[in-house]
Amino acid sequence: MSQPFLFPTPDGLFCPSGNFHIDPWKPVARAVVTHAHSDHACPGCETYLCARSGASILRVRTGAAIAAITPLDFNTPITLGDTRVSLHPAGHILGSAQVRVERTGPPRSPTSGEVWVVSGDYKTIADRTCESFEPVRCHVFITESTFGLPVYRWRDQLSIFKDINAWWLENQAQQRTSILFAYALGKAQRVLGGIDPSIGPIVSHGAVARLNRAYHDAGIHLPDAPLQTESSHDVRGRGLVIAPPSAAGSPWLRSFAKGQASGGLSAGFVSGWMQLRGTRRRRAVDRGFPLSDHADWDGLLTTIRETGAHRIGVTHGYVQPLVRYLRENMGLDAFAVPTRFQGEINESAPSAEDDPLSPEDAS
C-alpha cells in the first residue's frame, strides 16, 4: 500500500513527498505556515515558508530570524521534493493562505497530478485589511470547521460596524470610556478598518499596537490608534480603547476610569462567539458584536462545493457535525483530521488568537 500524501503525525500534518509539515504543532525542520496565529505558527522551526504579506507578522509572532523565513507570492508555485506547492489567499487575516500541494512524481503514476488543498483558517467575506479569499480546485480539501454549525450565519459586517459606532457614541453621552476587546492579530485591525475614527480618540494595547505597525508596513492603512503610555485623561469618558481579551481587569485598563465623575467603563467584545447570548454572559461584557474572521456555516458549504473536491478532511472546531452533514447531505467522502487545537469550540476558554504575550499563546 502506498504511503498517504498528507497525514497527521505527533508534530502535525506531514507531507513525506516534500519533506515538510503544514502548520506544525512542534518545532520541525521545514514548516509551511498558513498564517501567524499561534495555533498555526509554531516557534522554533528551522525554516518557514509563508505568504509574502504575512512574513513580518510571522517574525513578530514566532521570533524567527529573517533568514529562516522564505516569503512566497500568492499563486506562485515552487518545487519541494516530489511536490509542487503554492499559496492562495484565505481571507482570514493579512497574509493568511491556503496551501495547494500537487504530486509531481513519475508521469505514469496513478496519483501523479493529485491536488490537495489545506485551507488553514479562512473567511469568504472580503474586508480591506487582508487579501480576499479565492477558492482553489482540488481533489482533496482540508477545511477548518471553527463555526461548523447551522446556528452560525453572519450578519452583514457593515451593520456590525454601525452597531459598534452607535455603542461608542452612547457611551460618550454617558461619559463612559469604551473598552473593546478584540484579538490582537487580525480582528483588532479589521475593527480599526471598519469603525468611524471621527467619533473620538482611539488608543491600543501594546499587543495590538505592535501588530498595527506590521499591517502599516504591509501597506494597510488604519486610523491612528497609538499605544497609550502617557496620561489617559484625553481618552476617559469619550475614547475607544482596543485591547486583547487577556487585558481584562488589568491595571492598564482600569486607569481609563480613574478620576471620572460618572460613567466609568463600558466593555464590548468582538468575536463570532458573540452570536450566542450565553457566551456574552460568560464573558461578562456589556455588548457583544458577532464579527468573525472565519467562514460561517454557509461559507463553509459554499467553499467545499467550489473546490470540486470529492474527499473532504475536517479539522479545527465542530468536526463531527460537519463530517456527518457532508456525508449524509452532500454525498462526499468526509473524514476527521485530528488536531491538538480543539479548544476553540469551548466559548468560555481563552482563544488561541489572543494576545501574543499571553500565557496561552506562548505555550
Q: How confident is the model at residue 122 (pLDDT cuts 50, 70, 90)?
A: very high
Name the residue among 304, 289, 40 with its Cα closest to residue 155: 289
Q: How confident is the model at residue 347 (pLDDT cuts 50, 70, 90)?
A: very low
Which residue do the cell numbers 470610556 mark? 177
Task: Using the Cα atoms of residue 56, residue 58, residue 60 and residue 63 in order, give the sign of their dihedral.
Answer: negative
Out of 2-6, 33-37, 241-245, which region has the weakest mean confidence (pLDDT)? 2-6
Q: pLDDT: is 332 or 238 the higher one?
A: 332
Query: What's phi and psi for 192, nearest 5 deg?
Result: -60, -35
Which CATH class name applies to 157-289? alpha beta
Name the residue among 103, 147, 137, 142 with its Cα closest to residue 311: 142
Same fold, 7-152+293-362 and 157-289: no
Please tell me the predicted confidence (pLDDT) of residue 100. 98
Q: pLDDT: is 196 or 254 the higher one?
A: 196
Cβ atoms 25, 33 nearer than 8 A: no
Please tell me the predicted confidence (pLDDT) of residue 341. 63
Average pLDDT of the segment spanning 252-261: 73
Average pLDDT of every residue of the chain: 89
Global pTM value: 0.90
Cα-based distances in Å from 258 to 167, 237, 239: 21, 10, 14
Please tell me the predicted confidence (pLDDT) of residue 290. 96
pLDDT(154) > 90: yes
pLDDT(233) > 90: no
Name the residue among 49, 50, 47, 54 with its Cα closest to residue 68: 47
Average pLDDT of the segment spanning 309-322: 96
Please tell me the predicted confidence (pLDDT) of residue 74. 98
Measured CA to CA, the distance from residue 164 to residue 159 in angstroms comes to: 9
Cβ atoms 40, 23 nearer than 8 A: yes
pLDDT(78) > 60: yes
Task: Report, at the CATH architecture level, how domain 7-152+293-362 is classified.
Answer: 4-Layer Sandwich (3.60)
Q: How confident is the model at residue 227 (pLDDT cuts 50, 70, 90)?
A: confident
Exposure string for 292-309, b = 16+ CB within 10 A, e = fewer: bbbbbbebbbebbeebeb
Please tell me the predicted confidence (pLDDT) of residue 307. 98
pLDDT(334) > 80: yes
3-state secondary structure of 318: coil
Cβ atoms 291, 158 nearer than 8 A: no
Q: What pLDDT, in 10s, does the model give residues 35-70?
A: 999 999 999 999 999 999 999 999 999 999 999 999
Let me know if 68 is exposed, middle or buried by CB neighbors in 10 A (0-12, 13-18, 19+). middle
Give residue limits of the domains in the chain: 7-152+293-362, 157-289
Name the residue among 63, 97, 45 with its Cα closest to residue 361: 63
Element (H, E) at 312: strand 311-317
Q: How confident is the model at residue 235 (pLDDT cuts 50, 70, 90)?
A: confident
Measured CA to CA, the distance from residue 342 to residue 349 in angstroms comes to: 11
Average pLDDT of the segment spanning 342-347: 42
pLDDT(358) > 50: no
- % of the chain beyond a pLDDT of 70: 86
